[in-house]
A and B are shown apart, each in its own frame.
Chain A
Amino acid sequence: MKVTLNVNGASHWLDLDTRVTLLDALRDHLKLTGTKKGCDHGQCGACTVIAGGRRINSCLSLAALHDGDEITTVEGLSDDELSDLQSAFVAHDGMQCGYCTPGQICSALGMLGELSEGWPSHVSETLDGPVRPTREEIAERMSGNLCRCSCYPGINAAILETAEGS
């Protein structure tokens, strides 16, 4: 079927098998391989992208469901210069093998948005107050993104620094 995906500001017209996931559309059809596939079952977060302003697991969503949607992938976060969050990941060594990293970064961006909108989490003190980006909040909200290299200390430090800087 015909699908239009607006990815990182560019429109793409694709003719896809209805079974193609958003993740495979990005990776195999648009050659945007920055978004990773770790499990294809919504269990690892490596495939996280921002769709319609929210972080989602792109492996759990069919491309056909995103006709006309605005999608941001890791490739859309920087051109020549890395974004602050990306630079912070490098500075804090928030990666080793790097396979979970694009998902961590997209997820962190979405998560910071949720924080600034005041969405509470399991560790928030109140359900309706503003939420501060503490280490606990970040760890809780980033727990859908697995990192087997276990770069959580660097990931959290990078996100915290970025949140505090903005």
Chain B
Amino acid sequence: MTEELKIDGPTQARPEDAHAQGVLSREAARPDGPLKVSGRAAYAAEYLPEGAAHGVLVRAPGRGKVRLANRAEVEAMQGVLCVLHDDRMVRNAAQGTANEAPVQGVEWAEYVGQPVALVVAETPEQASHAAARLRVEAGGSKGAVTPGEGEVTDEDVTTSETGDFEAAMREGAQTLDATYTTPSHVSAAMEPHAAIAEWKDGCLTLHSALQMLKFNRNEIADCVGVDPGNVRVLAPYVGGGFGSKLGISAEAVAAALAARDLGRPVRVVQTRRQVFEVNTRRSETRQRIRLAADRDGRLTGLGHDALASNLPGEDFAEPVLQASHFSYAAPNRRLRQSAERLFRPASGSVRAPGEAVGVTMFEIAMDELAESCGIDPVEFRLRNIPETDPERDVPFSSHMLAECLTEGSHRFGWADRPAATRQRQEGEWWIGTGMAAAFRVNLLMEAEARVRLSPEGVVVETDMTDIGTGTYSILTQIAAERLGHPPDRCEVRLGDTDFPPGSGAGGSVGAASTGTAVWLACTEIRRQLAEAMGCSEADLTLKDGRATCGNRSLDIAEVIGDGPLEGHGHLQPGKALKKVRQSTFGAHFAEVAVSDVTGEVRVRRLAGTYAAGRILNPRTARSQCHGGLTWGIGMALTEALEHDRRDGHAVNRDFAEYHLPVNADVPDLDVEFVEERDDWAGPMQAKGIGELSICGSGAAIINAIHHACGVRVRDLPATPDRVLAGLA
């Protein structure tokens, strides 16, 4: 039996309040924590079987027809087993939820850095050495690599228009027309993409660093031409993903092909520099934002025109406008998104695709207009909160922006802020504060999970992954709460396609989607227990391994009898999101110091107040918000993947040159959750939290720079040279 749920409308009941175990929505340590701190959690590259061979990918040095100039010579090198140059190898990682092979082929390189061969040898040292000797010739083909110069076809443009936008711009009491740019960003998860492929009797077992296994299984099967039923993908621990591991990537496909050819297991780990160019980057964006406000500071016109890029054949375009459709009220609106074809490494989802750069730049524009209206930035946003979705005639499922702004500004001490810029100086440092709102659409995805209850305890199984998001923790808590067990008697098994297909980790959907599937599976078990006890599920109380119904109380083991009870949960997103607009909300506040001498910016304080429905584990949720806030620091101040102007290649493709925020760049972070229950989010009333804090935190910093020293940065990141140019 399967407990099915399609979310077509609100769930008003608050069944969780009847639960007795008291572990859900409470602070809890990760059950996987002890394994991770002792080095016992094993990641993809660490399942090295006996007799494995080692492969190293080789990149194309130019765009154009590919030729391996000295293949035979390399194949004769010590330890070399083969040089794979197979047209089923992939050009770049598959897009998230692609569910099929990405563009394949090695005869032609579409971008500089495309992997076009795999050198396999007995040892990693032999393979690296031989890979470095392989001479790949590719080039001669010109193609646009600079933003603004790529081809844009009609299919790559979407527009939506409401009211008379041009008139609003003409007649506004205050208007803004400014263009902002963001550079390419990379996920830069600490675990490089890695795969170990092993074939047995025509079946492939693949250990790989991936986020969405049910899709990844179909992708790899399609790449190598086998039935997905003959493929098992495992990823019980993944060293971060942030979008870069959504789809199957080059190392996994090459490993699978080589392992089949050689008849032995093959491990391929991308080098750090390969990670930067083979897996999808966040596209650079150019955003023209036009705003008009009346005398009272109410928006009358809202325009957002965004340009992003991708390689030909990729249908993903950074959805920059995702939140602009509903973030603020304005009767006259023009939104336009286009994607151009550039021959840079492929772009795709990086943490909070769309809002991360869209909300951030829009919130800078809002700060600029608030200033010209002479209205406090918090107040300006409060005045422009829409009653209903401003473009579709539907209500919000729940709208918590005002609460976040009010609570957040109170907590930060915003009231003491002088309105004017350049008011506070400490030695060479200008001090200022800034704020920005946060928006991130909330999504659910189909998910399944299986739960077994036996006298030994509870076991949860799903192919869902925990990429650091806290999935082990919250699924443990959900099962423990629903089935009345202490968490240490619940075991969660993840990351194996032999288990029922979860949602996968991405787009902040995991907790709510797969969590609800676990919830449903437990509902089925609760019903079986209630039946055995002769009562209804609603009257059943489960706590510490005991089942109570009215005045009957039994050990759950006694109720179960011989066999374990099994429940299977299946969640499908229904029509709910057609009927309402659903989002998560937040408010960011930052204090920065800007050096008058060097233009260096230091973040002194950074705070976020968020509403994301029911918070399942404040500790792991807070950690994810720390992550997003820190990414906001990186986006605002240091992160930019630079492309060579001649051939588009990623220049600064390692940690020495692409600057992630390090420990000393990050101040103590203040994260607060506003109590919210969103009835449209299913029985748990929980929404996604993994990405919200990168949606606008960078803008709070940029706005604080302006407040501190009067310099307005419109091109990210705000490196010292850019700030200094404004200070001069």
Binding site for B on A (CB under 8 A): 17, 19-20, 24, 27-28, 31-41, 43-44, 46, 73-75, 77-78, 82, 86-87, 89-91, 93, 95-102, 105, 135, 138-140, 142-156
| Contact residues, B38-64 vs A (CB, 8 A) | 38-43, 45-46, 48
Q: Name which residue of chain B comes closest to A17, CB basis.
A: B125
B129 within 8 A of A: yes
User: 3 closest Cβ contacts across the A-B interface?
Assistant: A34-B39, A99-B239, A97-B468
Contact A96 B37, beta carbon cutoff 8 Å: no
Contact B36 A148, beta carbon cutoff 8 Å: no
Is the Cβ of B623 less than 8 Å from the Cβ of A74? no
Please, which residue of chain B has its CB at the minimum distance from the CB of A98? Answer: B36
Q: Would A150 and B38 be within 8 Å (CB), given that A19-B129, A41-B656, A142-B663 are in contact?
A: no
Is B18 an interface residue, CB under 8 A from the partner? Answer: no
Residue pair B661, A28 in contact (C-beta under 8 Å):
no
Q: Contact: A105 with B37, CB < 8 Å?
A: yes
Q: CB-nearest residue of chain A relative to B473?
A: A93
Q: Tell whether B712 is near chain A: CB-to-CB under 8 Å.
A: no
Q: Which chain A positions have C-beta within 8 A of B655?
A: 38-39, 41, 43-44, 146
Contacts of A147 in B (CB 8 A): 190, 663
List B contacts of A37 (CB < 8 A): 45, 192, 269
With A38-B272, A93-B29, A143-B664 as contacts: A148 and B190 at CB distance below 8 Å: yes
How far does the alpha carbon of A73 sit from the alpha carbon of B42 in the complex, in Å?
15
Partner among A20, A32, A96, A140 whose Cβ is within 8 Å of the Cβ of B469: A96
Can you name 16 A-B pairs with beta carbons within 8 Å?
A38-B191, A38-B272, A74-B37, A90-B37, A93-B33, A95-B33, A95-B36, A96-B623, A97-B467, A98-B468, A140-B663, A142-B664, A148-B240, A150-B626, A152-B666, A156-B663
**Known interface pairs A24-B124, A41-B654, A101-B37. Does A93 touch B619 (Cβ–Cβ under 8 Å)?**
yes
A5 CA to B32 CA, complexed, in Å: 30
**Are A44 and B48 within 8 A (Cβ)?**
no
Q: Is B669 an interface residue (CB 8 A)?
A: yes
**Bound CA–CA A38/B631 (angstroms):** 18
Contact partners of A34 in chain B: CB under 8 A: 38-40
Which A residue sits closest to B467, measured CB to CB? Answer: A97
- Minimum CB distance partner of B189 in chain A: A148
Q: Which of B606-655 contact A (CB under 8 A)?
A: 619-620, 622-624, 626-627, 629-631, 654-655
Which chain A residues border B240 with CB–CB below 8 Å?
96-97, 99, 148-149
Q: Considering the chains assembled together, what is the distance between the CA atoms of A134 and B201 in angstroms?
A: 59
Asked if B29 and A101 make an inter-chain contact with CB atoms under 8 angstroms apart, the answer reads: no
Which listed residue (A27, A31, A90, A142) contacts B34, Cβ 8 A? A90
Pairwise interchain contact B239-A86, C-beta atoms closer than 8 A: no
CB of B619 within 8 A of CB of A43, answer no
- Name B residues whose Cβ lies closer than 8 Å to a Cβ of A: 29-30, 32-43, 45-46, 48, 123-126, 129, 187-192, 237-242, 269, 271-272, 467-470, 619-620, 622-624, 626-627, 629-631, 654-656, 660-666, 668-669
Q: Which of A17, A77, A87, A97 has a CB less than 8 Å from the CB of B189?
A: A97
Contact A93:B189 (CB < 8 A) given known A33-B42, A74-B38, A148-B240: no
Select one of B129, B272, B626 contacting A151, CB under 8 A: B626
Asked if residues B627 and A150 are in contact (CB atoms below 8 Å), the reply is yes
Least CB separation from B42: chain A residue:
A33
Q: Which residues from B are CB-within-8-Å of A146?
A: 190, 655, 660, 662
Beta-carbon contact of B626 and A28 below 8 Å = no
Once the chains are docked, how many angstroms separate the CA of A145 from the CA of B271? 18
The reply to whether A153 and B662 form a contact with Cβ atoms under 8 Å apart is: no
Q: Please measure, in the bound complex, the distance between the C-alpha atom of A151 and the C-alpha atom of B626, giving whole angstroms.
A: 7
Tell me the complex Cα distance, A61–B295, Å: 66
The interface residues of chain A lying within 8 Å CB-to-CB of B656 are: 41, 43
CA distance A38 to B33 in the complex (A): 20
A96 engages B191 (CB within 8 Å): no
The answer on a CB contact under 8 Å between B46 and A27 is yes
Q: Please, how many angstroms separate the alpha-carbon atoms of A78 and B30 in the complex?
A: 18
The interface residues of chain A lying within 8 Å CB-to-CB of B42 are: 33
Chain A residue contacts of B41, Cβ below 8 A = 98
For A97, the closest partner residue in chain B by CB is B468
Beyond A41-B656, A93-B29, 20 additional pairs, beta carbon < 8 A: A17-B123, A33-B43, A37-B192, A38-B190, A38-B272, A38-B655, A39-B192, A74-B38, A90-B34, A93-B30, A93-B622, A95-B468, A97-B191, A97-B240, A98-B37, A98-B41, A145-B663, A146-B655, A148-B240, A150-B629
Across the two chains, which residue of chain B brings its CB closest to A121? B664
Could you say which residues of chain B place their CB within 8 Å of the CB of A20? 125
**Which residues in B have their C-beta under 8 angstroms from that of A91?**
29
Which residue of chain A lies nearest to B267 when distances are taken between CB atoms in the complex? A28
Residue on B nearest A74 in the bound complex, by CB: B39
Complex CA distance for A151 and B417, rounded to whole angstroms: 30
Once the chains bind, are B630 and A150 in contact (CB under 8 Å)? yes
Q: B residues within 8 A CB of A90?
A: 29-30, 33-34, 37
C-alpha spacing A144/B662, complex, angstroms: 7
Contacting residues, chain B, for A35 (C-beta < 8 A): 39
Inter-chain contact A152/B37, CB cutoff 8 Å: no
CB distance from A123 to the nearest CB of B (A): 8
| Identity of the chain B residue whose Cβ is nearest the Cβ of A135 in the assembled complex | B668
Q: How far is the CB of B30 from chain A (nearest CB, A)?
A: 7
Distance in angstroms between the alpha carbons of A117 and B33 in the assembled complex: 31
Q: Which residues of B contact A32 (CB under 8 A)?
A: 39
Q: How far is the CA of A74 from the CA of B660 in the complex (A)?
A: 25
Within the complex, what minimum Cβ distance (angstroms) separates B636 from chain A? 14
Cβ-neighbour of B623 out of A93, A100, A140, A143 (below 8 A): A93
Chain A residue at minimal CB-CB distance from B129? A19
Q: How many Å lie between the Cα of A14 and that of B631 in the bound state?
A: 42
